[in-house]
Structure 1
Amino acid sequence: MTPKEILKRLFQYARPYAGYLIGGLLCAVASIALTLLGPVLIGKAIDQIVGPGQVNFPETLKYLILLGITVALAAVFQWLMTLCTNKVTYYTVNDLRQEAFGKLHQVPLKYIDGNPHGDIINRLINDIDFISDGLLQGLTQLFTGVVTIVGTLCFMLGINPLIALVVVLVTPLSLFVAVFVAKSSNKMFKEQTKTQGELGGCVEEMLGSQKVVKAFSYEERAEEKFQEINARLYKCGQKAQFFSSLSNPSTRFVNGIVYAAAGVVGAISVINGNLSVGGVSSFLTYANQYTKPFNEVTGVITQLQTAFSSAGRVFALLDQPEEAPDAPDAKTVKSCEGRVRIDHVSFAYRKDQKLIENFNLETKPGQRIAIVGPTGCGKTTMINLLMRFYDVNQGEISVDGVPVKEMTRDSLRRLFGMVLQDTWLYSATVRENIAYGKPNATMEEIRAAAKAAYADGFIRRMPQGYDTLISEDGGNLSQGQKQLLSIARVMLVDPPMLILDEATSSIDTLTEIRVQKAFDRMMEGRTSFIVAHRLSTIKNADVILVMNQGNIIEQGSHQELLDRGGFYCRLYNSQFVKAE
């Protein structure tokens, strides 16, 4: 996007706060008008001082009092203008950040999976902060700058048109320098914000897997990777800052020429009797104020360039295609019997890499369907398709005869209770984490779910029991404890169907036996899909689907598959026979 397009789009977000914009503009006009009146009063006061012993004190005092009142009123209007521009900026940025965060819930899951999480976080936090800083500076300089230029030009024309013409003819040199520097540094700032996002992704990656980094002694290589990205950020940032830093001294040099030219021409006018000494003093003040906005704009050019680059990255997120919406006539399903049919389904994350082809499955209500197979065979992918985290490329999935594409995603997902191998907890109390899917649950219901998941014992031993605050992602809990809380969360919701994806992988053997009994009770009468690598956990499944390379190659009960002596039998023997 070009800076013009970005600016136009930013102002669309500011449109709801047009009242503050107009108020800020009116306050800017009043503040600048009063400020520009000051040099006139000073000039008139100077003209009252003819020479030693010839000072007109009463008139001088009058102008000084008027000057004091003018300065005070200008300060009040300046404060009001700043208040209005601040409100416009912060309200606009607040809306932008909320929309960007909401967009993360609307984009397909493949966007989240396919982009570094640190870079996405950087767009929502740092980039929008840069927009805030740049927008605030831009609005302030725009308001005061335009009014100051127009106002001083009018006053200068009123005092002496000839000197005003000299000032106007020389001033465009400042604009030429500013535009040249801005174009030169724009590319550098885009590269800088892009590299900042990459650096954020690197830091997030290292923090999220710090135990693995230390376990494999990867610290030095991690630091080398960080230093490489940081060095690139230093280089592009240095170039961007260097080019942008040229603008202010360059324009100040040009403004010095303008001031000197105005002084020379003004002095000649005084000698010729065309202008008073007070008039020259006023004019020189106006010449300085006329060039000041150009200095201010070029002085904040770094922030403006960074803001435009950051806004481009945020808008790139906002322009991402959204997840296909629910059909207009999509049904809201509140309950189901649990008949799931997968009919000739094909799916691939990438078009050039096939994963699941012509997959067929039909379950009866209350059946326990176990899915086993080697890594990468498509087990977890089937879970993603059942939950509509991804849509199938071909074929159809239906629940109780209703295609899932004809249901709302929200109601479909409420039919399933899901416990994953990778647990997730958020910074809140134990009670709030268990009640995540049912916020209005009573304490009795929460405690009953925890007891069913065999989590009540360790919860009551915690400092504040169920009111103990859990740190982000459950950092103050063991992996097994986090998984027990995740299981309790599902048990509280009590859904009609279950998905257990390695749900007991982080639990010790004794607790696993107990939780397995709890699962057995919970799975009674419910269609359940169980993904497992440890085949001991799925012996009691009604149907075991053996997958390989996206296809079902064997199907049957545990004993039937062992009797066949096929792929499942080899998998089972590889886990148990050698150990025995």
Structure 2
Amino acid sequence: MAENKEYVPPRNPGGISRPGRGGVVVKPKNMKGTLGRLWQLTKGHRKGLGWIFLLSGLASGASVLSPYVTGKAVTAISGGDALTWILVCLTGLYVCDWLIRFLQAFFMASIGQNVIHHIRRVLFDQIKTLPLAFFDRHRHGELMSRLTNDVDNISITISSSLTLLLTYAFTIGGVFVMMVTLSPLLTLVAIVGVVLIFTLTKIVTKRTRKLFLERQKVLGALNGQVEESISGLSIVRAFCREEEMEREFEEKNTRLCRVSIRALIWSGYLMPLMNVINNLCYVAIAVFSGVLFVNGSIGDIGLITSFLLYVRQFTRPFVEIANIYNNFQTAVAGAERVFEILDEEPEPADKEGALHLTAPRGNIELRHVSFGYNPDKPVLRDVSVKIPAGTQTAIVGATGSGKTTIINLLTRFYDVSGGSILLDGHDLRDYKMDDLRAAFGVVLQDTALFAESVRDNIAYGHPEAAMEQIRQAARVAGADGFIQRLPKGYDTVLEQGGMELSQGERQLITIARAVLANAPILILDEATSSVDTVTEQKIRRAMLKICEDRTSVIIAHRLSTIRDSDMIILLEKGEIAEQGTHEELMALDGRYALMYKTQTG
């Protein structure tokens, strides 16, 4: 990891859940612009979307015509006329409505998943190209949330909400036209009911939104406390803090319970009250239409039947559209978070005419190198040093002195802010990135193992390696013995990054990986800092074997492991304080000598 970096909090950690009635709605900053970009991003993956528009119109048409035909049936019954063709038409409409909605779901499932597949692939491809500086600014959980929760919100909106929104919009328009056609006076009464529902919804959601926001904050605090308690349970038990941990959990859990009850009660008011208003409106229209029928203003009983059915259809979509729009806003906000990643600058591309690094010798030179993760806080200041090919160089110093930063610059995880780093006489930036990275074998303090077999983990950088080559690499690293004792030997699948192994065993596997890669330049970053002294000696012997006849750069806190190095560099506050062999630095009796004497007693 990089050192001396300023922590930048994530912009919006955690996932976005779909809001319910009165729930928290994450509003986009620029809905029009984001929708335009989303439309462009899905170009070439929208095949069949025209069918969705057509089917939505047809589904709305079937819904709008059904009450009208039902009214005609009532009129026919009251007049003693035949019902055969009317019932056939009505049955046909219902069958068509079912078929159309099935086709809607069929087409939308295919279109939605194809679009999301494309978005997720584009997003993942972008993440692969981003520099390490981006990952230093963002928590892994936040990035996972964007790849999963935000994309899922877009998927839900495309797959279901978009279809419903189109259908409801067409339905409201069609029903309104039919209501006005049947009776403008009764339509005015229905509109009054819709206005009352909107007013009620606005009043209730204004209150519930605050409660749901508070609930989300308390839930976040509770989740954080649970995560800390579980991950640090050994420390909690070691310091006998179980009661305090339980008390803190109970306080947050109780507060969450109270806030949730209030939020749910308030949100629970909405639907019953809307149903009351709907029913009152329905009764008012029924009574009013009955009076008009008795007075002779309306002469068709079927018209009243159709209108009452239209009233039911007219009010419900407004509430559903409000909820769909909330989900739609949340999905667009998620799309904005996705576009924030897509807008990030990727790693610098190979310059035009970049050189191939086919047979690196390993001559490294740092010329007046300066660098800072934050421009205002330099980590390295005017560092100049030559590392001849085939030599072993150790870099030591206090935490934050810039040791790991040099490694990050050598492998071009970052580029220097000033000066240059040369490999075999050429600036690192002159080489093709893949060739440059292939020239380095890296063993880090934090072991990186994958949920695959031991064999696959060792062959990670050399997947075509034969089994005998893998075993030979493990023997050189001193890992063959314990690997053979695993349940399935080299075919044992490691779970959770190899947590079933000891720290030393995991480190030996990573060293075996570096041996198999056979890179001409080897970097060992604190490879023995987290192991016991016996394992340290095993790792040290393995390091000595793999460092032979190649350029190696070793970062170490335990000075006893690097005393045989050809050159030792002591960094202090980003500058070279001392440089030389172990004997030369001990004779100098400076900072290095003091560190060595302190460690060895």
- State whether TM-score is above 0.5: yes
SS at match of 2:497: helix
Q: 1:443-462 alignment to 2 at 5 Å?
A: 443-462=467-486
| Structure 1 unmatched ranges of 5 or more | none
Q: 1:84-233 alignment to 2 at 5 Å?
A: 84-164=107-187, 166-168=189-191, 171=194, 174=197, 211=234, 215=238
SS at match of 1:48: helix
> How much does 1:416 deviate?
0.7
Contact 1:347 1:354 in 2 (8 A): yes
> How much does 1:301 deviate?
5.8
Assess, with a 3 A threshold, how the Cα gap between structure 1 residues 309 and 428 changes in structure 2: closer, same or farther. same
More divergent stretch after superposition (251-260 vs 404-413): 251-260
| Structure 2 unmatched ranges of 5 or more | 1-28
SS at match of 1:113: helix
Correspondence for 1:530 = 554
Distance 2:126 2:163 in 1: 30
Is 2:99 aligned against 1:71?
no
Distance 2:597 2:242 in 1: 39
Assess, with a 3 A threshold, how the Cα gap between structure 1 residues 507 and 474 changes in structure 2: closer, same or farther. same
Q: Would you say how many aligned residue pairs link Structure 1 and Structure 2?
A: 572
In the alignment, which of 416, 428, 440 is matched to residue 464 of structure 2? 440
> How much does 1:515 deviate?
3.9
Assess, with a 3 A threshold, how the Cα gap between structure 1 residues 241 and 474 changes in structure 2: closer, same or farther. same
More divergent stretch after superposition (28-37 vs 14-23): 14-23
Assess, with a 3 A threshold, how the Cα gap between structure 1 residues 234 and 416 changes in structure 2: closer, same or farther. farther
Deviations 1:534-559 (A, max 9, x none): 11211221111111221112111112
SS at match of 1:63: helix
Q: Partner amino acid for 2:49?
A: L
SS at match of 1:105: helix
Contact 2:63 2:171 in 1 (8 A): no
Q: Partner amino acid for 2:93?
A: T
Contact 1:189 1:305 in 2 (8 A): no
Assess, with a 3 A threshold, how the Cα gap between structure 1 residues 304 and 186 changes in structure 2: closer, same or farther. farther
Is 2:61 aligned against 1:33?
yes
> How much does 1:490 deviate?
0.9
> How much does 1:304 deviate?
4.4
Q: Between the two proteins, what is the percent identity of the paired residues?
A: 38
Q: Partner amino acid for 1:492?
A: L
In the alignment, which of 280, 283, 288 is matched to residue 312 of structure 2? 288
Contact 1:116 1:201 in 2 (8 A): no
Distance 2:37 2:374 in 1: 33
Assess, with a 3 A threshold, how the Cα gap between structure 1 residues 510 and 336 changes in structure 2: closer, same or farther. same
Distance 2:151 2:307 in 1: 42
Q: Partner amino acid for 1:74?
A: D
> How much does 1:478 deviate?
0.9
Assess, with a 3 A threshold, how the Cα gap between structure 1 residues 413 and 118 changes in structure 2: closer, same or farther. same
Contact 2:453 2:493 in 1 (8 A): yes
Contact 2:153 2:334 in 1 (8 A): yes
Contact 2:132 2:413 in 1 (8 A): yes
Contact 2:450 2:494 in 1 (8 A): yes
Distance 2:433 2:243 in 1: 45
Correspondence for 1:20 = 48
SS at match of 1:274: coil
Assess, with a 3 A threshold, how the Cα gap between structure 1 residues 236 and 391 changes in structure 2: closer, same or farther. farther
Q: What RMSD over aligned residues (CA atoms) do the two structures have, in Å?
A: 3.5
Contact 1:248 1:295 in 2 (8 A): no
More divergent stretch after superposition (255-264 vs 216-225): 216-225
TM-score by structure 2 length?
0.84
Distance 2:239 2:126 in 1: 37
Distance 2:360 2:106 in 1: 56
Distance 1:308 1:218 in 2: 44
Q: Which has the higher contact order (CA 8 A, sep 6+)?
A: 2
Contact 2:42 2:118 in 1 (8 A): no
Correspondence for 1:356 = 380
Distance 1:119 1:178 in 2: 33
Correspondence for 1:469 = 493
SS at match of 1:431: helix
Distance 1:311 1:224 in 2: 40
Is 2:74 aligned against 1:46?
yes
Correspondence for 2:104 = 81
Correspondence for 2:289 = 266
Q: Partner amino acid for 2:465?
A: A
SS at match of 1:49: helix
> How much does 1:328 deviate?
4.1
More divergent stretch after superposition (370-379 vs 313-322): 313-322
